[in-house]
A and B are shown apart, each in its own frame.
Chain A
């Protein structure tokens, strides 16, 4: 998670740390600051220390920085946030998608989400965390192979002990929190090829995609100094590029490679149970507070603001989609309003933690309106069968959010970000656009290659007979509804 440079907060902490140290002559300290110490902070620290003019303070502060201690408040919140993010996939996303497919395919959709949850848990443990967060050989401003992907130094979570800390929380907790992100991202793609992909091919593709597209993206954006997009200075608080554009583009490519469902555009493929979809969308909304506010990796002011803007943007986008539909089709729909809510959640994901309430309102309106157009008009005009609009909601919403983050993060526009030195709205927007383009090309090309490989080895698609029968019976020997 990228932690914004809340310089004033850092200063306050360092001041209090230095003063306390001075008064207590090096008594035990707790430094409730998890952010990597920045140059600015280091300068501020020096200033504070000069003023304090006390050797013990310097020693104590330095010691406290080297060994951050566990903060029980941060830990309690992150334990909760982790549970919330897992809840987003199972059952939230599973139900959201499950309600939108035809009744003969509901179990296959739920099954795919559930199986991905298990699969990603194993892969993240064995090598995913290492590929994503191993930072050996990385140096700020230096572009090398390690800027793109981590190594195997943390293979099988080696080095993890009961006392390992990541900032102010246990490393075991940080690993689990990040694991829930590694679970939901591939699960999002499921919506693009729903109702027609072979289950075995899905498992192989997801394992490959996680390895080649997801873990490196996490590394490039979040692993710290020396990582490609981190060094570019991209603002991606909770995963606009890493999670949503990544999954959305992979979804579009998958929908194109696998092809349309039989009878697409001719036969009725209406959602079979929008009640389930509404329940799922509501679970996503609730769980997303863990996703966004949890990405502060602390129970702090940043988490609080992330929570507020998440709620504002989601409500706004839900209404924007609803009104868009009302105006263009004459009636507002439940599927429309819940789709708008998800679009809002997606768009605020990169922006949470840096934009303010006004920015969230604008992002919400634009995300709701643009995703509505993308998922209805554009999709129909282009004719691709992205069954549940993974591209129209996640990629488009992610792109809208990622770019607008570069605008509304600035304090002059109500943002709560402390701009890095020399950053202007134009320069930051360019960084955001560059990161978006990189993500699109990176994941677009590699997803295509992986899909083709799996297609040759296993075959991506079920037989026409199986598709007609429904995947529940054809692939799993079960039926969703035995009425």
Chain B
């Protein structure tokens, strides 16, 4: 199993959700996050007071998937979330040791 963490532009969330659902992913966890990368922040100006905002709002999606579809999911997210402009985000993949469905106690691939 793999745990895939994707940091994407917030407005791409619906497209990504649809794309991974089409592949057969049963569930995702979504968090609103802030951070910085190569995309620079922006400045805000209030009555002459200029503020530099370094952390930009992004959306973090976490999905636990079977190894067999991991590459497909990564490819789908990459395709859908891409705008070609700086700030499209990143995908991190790590091996997932175990998963448990709390209601039934199922473990492993059955649980994701």
Judged by a CB distance under 8 angstroms, whether B51 is at the interface is yes
Name A379's closest neighbour in chain B (CB-CB).
B48
1/0 per position for B33-77, CB-CB distance to A under 8 A?
A: 000000000001111110101000000000000000000000000
Chain A residues with Cβ below 8 Å from B46 are 270-271, 333, 335
Judged by a CB distance under 8 angstroms, whether A295 is at the interface is no
Q: Would you give the shortest CB distance from A155 to chain B, in whole angstroms?
A: 43
Q: Tell me whether chain A's interface is mostly helix, strand or loop, or mixed.
A: helix
Cβ–Cβ contact B53 & A376, under 8 A: no
Report Cα–Cα, A41/B45, bound state, in Å. Answer: 55
Partner of B49, one of A269, A331, A336, A339: A269
Partner of A377, one of B44, B48, B51: B48
Chain B residues with Cβ below 8 Å from A9 are none
Q: Tell me whether chain B's interface is mostly helix, strand or loop, or mixed.
A: strand
Chain B residues with Cβ below 8 Å from A329 are 45
1/0 per position for A357-392, CB-CB distance to B under 8 A?
A: 000000000000000000111011000000001001
Cβ–Cβ contact A376 & B48, under 8 A: yes
Name A329's closest neighbour in chain B (CB-CB).
B45
Cβ–Cβ contact A380 & B44, under 8 A: no
Name A330's closest neighbour in chain B (CB-CB).
B45
Q: Would you give the shortest CB distance from A102 to chain B, in whole angstroms?
A: 12
Q: Would you give the shortest CB distance from B53 to chain A, in whole angstroms?
A: 7
Chain A residues with Cβ below 8 Å from B44 are 270
Chain B residues with Cβ below 8 Å from A269 are 49, 51
1/0 per position for A275-293, CB-CB distance to B under 8 A?
A: 0000000000000000000
Chain A residues with Cβ below 8 Å from B45 are 329, 331, 333
Q: Would you give the shortest CB distance from A170 to chain B, in whole angstroms?
A: 42
Partner of A268, one of B47, B48, B53: B53
Cβ–Cβ contact B51 & A376, under 8 A: no
Report Cα–Cα, A336/B53, bound state, in Å. Answer: 20
Report Cα–Cα, A11/B48, bound state, in Å. Answer: 52
Interface residues contributed by chain A, number (CB under 8 Å): 17
Cβ–Cβ contact A335 & B47, under 8 A: yes
Report Cα–Cα, A377/B45, bound state, in Å. Answer: 13
Report Cα–Cα, A331/B42, bound state, in Å. Answer: 14
Name A100's closest neighbour in chain B (CB-CB).
B46
Residues of A63-113 contacting chain B, CB below 8 A: none
Report Cα–Cα, A307/B59, bound state, in Å. Answer: 50
Partner of A389, one of B47, B51, B53: B47
User: Most chain-A CB neighbours within 10 Å: which of B44, B45, B48, B53?
Assistant: B48
Report Cα–Cα, A67/B53, bound state, in Å. Answer: 67
Name B44's closest neighbour in chain A (CB-CB).
A270
Report Cα–Cα, A167/B101, bound state, in Å. Answer: 82
Report Cα–Cα, A329/B48, bound state, in Å. Answer: 9
Report Cα–Cα, A396/B54, bound state, in Å. Answer: 35
Report Cα–Cα, A156/B53, bound state, in Å. Answer: 55
Chain B residues with Cβ below 8 Å from A376 are 47-48
Residues of A209-263 contacting chain B, CB below 8 A: none
Report Cα–Cα, A331/B49, bound state, in Å. Answer: 14
Chain A residues with Cβ below 8 Å from B47 are 335-336, 339, 375-376, 379, 389, 392
Name B43's closest neighbour in chain A (CB-CB).
A329
Name B51's closest neighbour in chain A (CB-CB).
A268
Partner of B48, one of A270, A271, A331, A380: A380
Name A381's closest neighbour in chain B (CB-CB).
B48
Chain B residues with Cβ below 8 Å from A271 are 46
Report Cα–Cα, A376/B47, bound state, in Å. Answer: 5
Q: Would you give the shortest CB distance from B55 to chain A, in whole angstroms?
A: 11
Q: Would you give the shortest CB distance from B48 to chain A, in whole angstroms?
A: 3
Chain A residues with Cβ below 8 Å from B48 are 375-377, 379-380
Chain B residues with Cβ below 8 Å from A392 are 47
Report Cα–Cα, A268/B42, bound state, in Å. Answer: 13
Known: A270-B51, A339-B47. 4 other contacts (CB 8 A): A269-B51, A333-B45, A375-B48, A379-B47
A residues near B (Cβ < 8 Å) are 268-271, 329, 331, 333, 335-336, 339, 375-377, 379-380, 389, 392
B residues near A (Cβ < 8 Å) are 44-49, 51, 53
What would 12 A/B residue contacts be, using CB atoms closer than 8 Å?
A268-B51, A268-B53, A270-B49, A270-B51, A335-B47, A375-B48, A376-B47, A376-B48, A380-B48, A380-B49, A389-B47, A392-B47
